[in-house]
Amino acid sequence: MRILTKTSLYYLLVSVIVFLLGGLSFYKILQTEIYDEVDDQLFTDKENIIEYIRSHDELPNVTSGISEAIIVRETSAHAGALEALSDTLIFSTYDEEYVPFRKLTFTTYQNGKPFEYTVLKSLMDFEDLFESTMLAMAWIFVLLLIGLAGVNYFINKYNWRNFYDTLERAKRYSLTQRKPLLLKPTDTQEFQELNEVLQAMTGKIHNDYLNLKEFTENASHEIQTPLAIVSSKLELFMQSDILTQAQASMLEEMHASINRLSRLNRSLILLTRIENREFSENEVIPLHELLQEQLDQLHEMMLMHDIQVEIEAMQPVFVEMNTGLCEILISNLLLNAIRHNSAGGIIRISLKADELCIKNSGEPLQEEPVTLFERFRSGNKLSGSMGIGLALVSKISELYQLTPTYTYEEGLHVLRLKFQKNIS
Amino acid sequence: MKLLIIEDEQALNASMVAYLQQGGYTCDTALNYHDGSRMLADQHYTCVLVDLTLPGGNGLDLVRVLKKNNPDTGIIIISAKNALDDKITGLELGADDYLTKPFHLSELNARLRSVIRRRNFNGQKVIRVGNLEVFPESAEALVQGRKLTLTKKEYDLLLYFVTNKNRVLTKDSIAEHLWGDHIESLDSLDFVYTHIKNLRRKLVEAGSEDPITTVYGMGYKFSY
């Protein structure tokens, strides 16, 4: 949940609780006030009635008074209550409903005879007032709530904008971009601290990364010269006439290993150079022609393995890439299809405007397809590959935003390259 | 033919000298930029092999100067850098070829021959080995005056052998010469075998003695 949503929800929750409690106490206070007022009026009536009886020595006219109704009834001396306040409901024929009344019952004497008076006061007006007051209050509360929540939301959003900006930049940050993480300065202390910490951290990581990369590069380059020396000395050694069979085979093995090491090193340097974006000179390449060229070059290799090539589609496709890298990409894909094929197998090639698809027969993979594009992954150690071919494919694809995917369909390994930037 | 090898690694320099001297070249060596520059000014060489990273300067500057003063001297750049830019700059400045360390001495020899052949217009247009004649310009080979029908690869292989005659050529170096270093597969060694077998058969059928021998499983030798 976003922090803005979260704070807004908490804010709403607390506001609703506060408003409910406030509303409830307001209701209680208002009710008490109204009862007090009504009761006061009833007692005023009572005082008036008693005063009237005393001064006029007769029962007052029942309609005179503030109250809605005054009921007089003769009563026995002991039956009547001295004074009692209560609520009652009386059916109103006009409204066709029960109307709440407050009633005061008291007993007074005239000429020694007890009379029970019941003074009734309708609560209807007060109830109406009460209701409209509560409704107005409720509206005020709701509007206040919405307004406050809204203001709170926008203030928060405004305050957090720097945080979101930082987050977005941190997300987009990539070590390989060779650019430091640039964050907008902010006047919020915590966010400024966060920015500084992030910048320091990525700076450090970036430095470590560069050091490591430089080390790899230097190591690869420095290895070339000793390799060249060993390789050349071995070659000279081989020219000697006095070698025994055993010595010769040792030399041959050494030479083969040195060669393997050289090729491996060269591939690693190539990978590093692709990562370093050293191949910036792009050209528009007719991919169909290049593919055909590579197929011709590998023709005899396929013949040796008795592999049939079926061209399913060969549309003219032009891509903007570095020529050398494009050749490496295509030749590695094809070599891969040959190397991991079964004898007498097939390779199906389909080049369309949006994708290149190379299918080859062969045993299903033993490993997860995800690891396929990693370095030094070779499914079969006997094949003599170093497992760097597809790593190169993946690196080059990444550079040109092509997406290589692998699937196994109907006994065929299927490698697809999706083109995005397709000119033509 | 006189060569100058400008390479700061003493051991590698010595290897190149040893291999090339057997091929009949006279080799001078320089271990740094200044020696190289001085020797280039003093003498005339058929071809110069120059490393790019030298103590005292950049090999590319030597190429530049040499190109200006002695335009007919062949230049081969030898570098550990394999940086595309250097390669392009080097070739644009007029270097004839570019080799990346580590390389096979036999490959260096083949490239050197090819550079000299291309530059030497009035010179040797045919390579004769016994009754075998190879014409690099037209990519043809004759045995006892009869033309051999060779595939492109077989012809390349024959030229490689003839250039490095009486030397042991490893299967790896042959494979790399024929297919470049993108073919990093053991299979290519089988192809080498197949091609050599076919080449031998064609040579023998045309009336030549079999000049190619297998050396202890180490490689092949074209002897004459």
DSSP A65: S
Residue of B22, B165, B184 for testing the chain A interface, max A β-carbons within 10 Å: B184
pLDDT value at residue A421: 56
Residues B55 and B72 in one domain: yes
Let me know: does B173 contact B106? Beta carbons within 8 Å. yes
List pLDDT tens digits, range A135-192.
888 898 889 888 888 888 888 888 888 888 888 888 888 776 777 788 888 888 988 9
Chain B hits for A224, CB-CB cut-off 8 Å, are: 80, 82, 100-102
Does the structure show a pLDDT above 60 at A80?
no
CATH of the domain at B40: 3.40.50.2300
Residue A260: inside a domain, yes or no?
Answer: yes
Arithmetic mean of pLDDT, A289-315: 87
A36-50, A173-187, A233-247: least confident range = A173-187
Residues A293 and A371 in one domain: yes
Residue A163: inside a domain, yes or no?
Answer: no
Residues A206 and A296 in one domain: no
Q: Given pLDDT bands bounded at 50, 70 and 90, which one contains residue B182?
A: low
pLDDT value at residue A233: 94
Residues A9 and A127 in one domain: yes
List pLDDT tens digits, range B31-64.
999 999 999 999 999 999 999 889 998 888 999 9
Arithmetic mean of pLDDT, A291-299: 87
Q: Which of B90, B119, B148 is the last residue of a domain?
A: B119
Q: Given pLDDT bands bounded at 50, 70 and 90, which one contains residue B3?
A: very high
Environment class of residue A89 by beta-carbon count within 10 Å: exposed (0-12), middle (13-18) or buried (19+)? Answer: exposed
Let me know: does A115 contact A59? Beta carbons within 8 Å. yes
Residues A336 and A380 in one domain: yes
Query: How far is CA B37 from each of CA A236, B41, B186, rounded to the nearest angstrom?
Result: 29, 6, 43
Which residue in chain B has the smallest CA separation from A303? B191
CATH of the domain at A214: 1.10.287
A275-289, A331-345, A359-373: least confident range = A359-373
Residue of A223, A229, A305, A332 for testing the chain B interface, max B β-carbons within 10 Å: A229
pLDDT value at residue A383: 44
Residues A215 and A251 in one domain: yes
Residues A39 and A96 in one domain: yes
Q: Which of B119, B146, B168 is the last residue of a domain?
A: B119
Backbone phi and psi for residue A400, each to the nearest 5 degrees, phi listed first:
-105, 15
Chain B hits for A299, CB-CB cut-off 8 Å, are: none
Let me know: does B16 contact A229? Beta carbons within 8 Å. no
Residues A271 and A296 in one domain: no
Residues B210 and B108 in one domain: no
Arithmetic mean of pLDDT, A41-57: 83
Q: Which of A252, A275, A298 is the last residue of a domain?
A: A275
Q: How many domains, chain B?
A: 2
Environment class of residue A191 by beta-carbon count within 10 Å: exposed (0-12), middle (13-18) or buried (19+)? Answer: buried
A15-19, A53-57, B133-137, B171-175: least confident range = A53-57
Chain A hits for B216, CB-CB cut-off 8 Å, are: 243, 245, 248-249, 252
What domain range includes position B13? Answer: 2-119
CA-to-CA distance for A83 and B204, rounded, in angstroms? 145
CA-to-CA distance for B208 and B116, rounded, in angstroms? 28
Residues A8 and A140 in one domain: yes
Q: Which of A116, A145, A174 is the last residue of a domain?
A: A145
Please tell me which of A63-67, A230-234, A322-326 the model is most confident about, judged by mean pLDDT.
A230-234
Count contacts between A and B (CB, < 8 Å).
125
Q: Given pLDDT bands bounded at 50, 70 and 90, which one contains residue A382?
A: very low
Q: What is the complex's ipTM, to 2 decimals?
A: 0.87
pLDDT value at residue B40: 92
pLDDT value at residue A384: 47
Task: Match 């004898």 to its residue by tokens.
Answer: A343
Residue A154: inside a domain, yes or no?
Answer: no
Kindly report the average pLDDT of chain B as a whole number.
Answer: 86
Comparing CA positions, the residue from B58, B106, B109 lying closest to residue B85 is: B58
Arithmetic mean of pLDDT, B165-169: 90
Q: pTM for this one?
A: 0.67
Cβ of B11 within 8 Å of Cβ of A233? The answer is yes
Residues B206 and B141 in one domain: yes
Residue A246: inside a domain, yes or no?
Answer: yes
Q: Give SS3 for A352.
A: coil
Residues B115 and B170 in one domain: no
CA-to-CA distance for B111 and A273, rounded, in angstroms? 26
Kindly report the average pLDDT of chain A as a whole number.
Answer: 82
Does the structure show a pLDDT above 90 at B157?
yes
Residues B78 and B107 in one domain: yes
What domain range includes position A259? Answer: 190-275
Q: Which of A275, A301, A326 is the last residue of a domain?
A: A275
Chain B hits for A235, CB-CB cut-off 8 Å, are: 15, 19, 104-106, 170, 173
- The residue that leads in pLDDT, A126 or A416, is A416
CA-to-CA distance for A389 and A330, rounded, in angstroms? 10
Q: Which of B72, B99, B119 is the last residue of a domain?
A: B119
Question: Residues 19 to 78 of B: which have CB under 8 A from any A CB?
Answer: 19, 22
Residues A299 and A401 in one domain: yes
Residues A25 and A106 in one domain: yes
CATH of the domain at B135: 1.10.10.10
Cβ of B12 within 8 Å of Cβ of A228? The answer is yes
Residues A50 and A97 in one domain: yes
B173 touches chain A (CB under 8 A): yes
DSSP string of A228-253? Answer: HHHHHHHHHHHT-TT--HHHHHHHHH
Residue A174: inside a domain, yes or no?
Answer: no
CA-to-CA distance for B104 and B172, rounded, in angstroms? 9
Residues B43 and B99 in one domain: yes
Cβ of A228 within 8 Å of Cβ of B101? The answer is yes
Does the structure show a pLDDT above 90 at A410?
no
Arithmetic mean of pLDDT, A111-135: 81
CA-to-CA distance for A335 and A282, rounded, in angstroms? 24
Residue A86: inside a domain, yes or no?
Answer: yes
Residues B216 and B164 in one domain: yes
B81 touches chain A (CB under 8 A): yes
Q: How many domains, chain A?
A: 3
Residues B72 and B145 in one domain: no
Arithmetic mean of pLDDT, B122-127: 71
Give how far A297 is from chain B: nearest CA, Å.
Answer: 9
Cβ of A259 within 8 Å of Cβ of B191? The answer is no
Residues B132 and B107 in one domain: no
Arithmetic mean of pLDDT, B137-150: 88
List pLDDT tens digits, range A192-234.
999 999 999 988 988 888 888 788 778 877 888 899 999 999 9
Question: Token digits for A245?
Answer: 């069979």
Residue A164: inside a domain, yes or no?
Answer: no
Residue A336: inside a domain, yes or no?
Answer: yes
pLDDT value at residue A182: 83
Backbone phi and psi for residue B175, each to the nearest 5 degrees, phi listed first:
-60, -45
Percent of chain A topping pLDDT 70:
91
Arithmetic mean of pLDDT, A267-274: 82
CA-to-CA distance for B72 and B195, rounded, in angstroms? 36
Residues B67 and B155 in one domain: no
Classify each residue of A216-248 as buried b or exposed e, where b means 16 or more C-beta atoms within 10 Å of its C-beta.
Answer: ebeebbebbbebbbbbbbbbbebbeeebeeeeb
pLDDT value at residue B32: 93
Q: Given pLDDT bands bounded at 50, 70 and 90, which one contains residue B124?
A: low
A63-67, A321-325, A393-397, B53-57: least confident range = A63-67
CA-to-CA distance for A336 and A343, rounded, in angstroms? 14
B16 touches chain A (CB under 8 A): yes
Please tell me which of A392-396, B106-110, B203-207 the model is most confident about, judged by mean pLDDT.
B106-110
DSSP string of A255-280? Answer: HHHHHHHHHHHHHHHHHHHHHTT---
pLDDT value at residue A408: 85
pLDDT value at residue A173: 83
Residues B57 and B141 in one domain: no
Residue of A235, A242, A245, A253 for testing the chain B interface, max B β-carbons within 10 Å: A235
Chain A hits for B81, CB-CB cut-off 8 Å, are: 221
DSSP A378: -
A229 touches chain B (CB under 8 A): yes
Residues B157 and B140 in one domain: yes
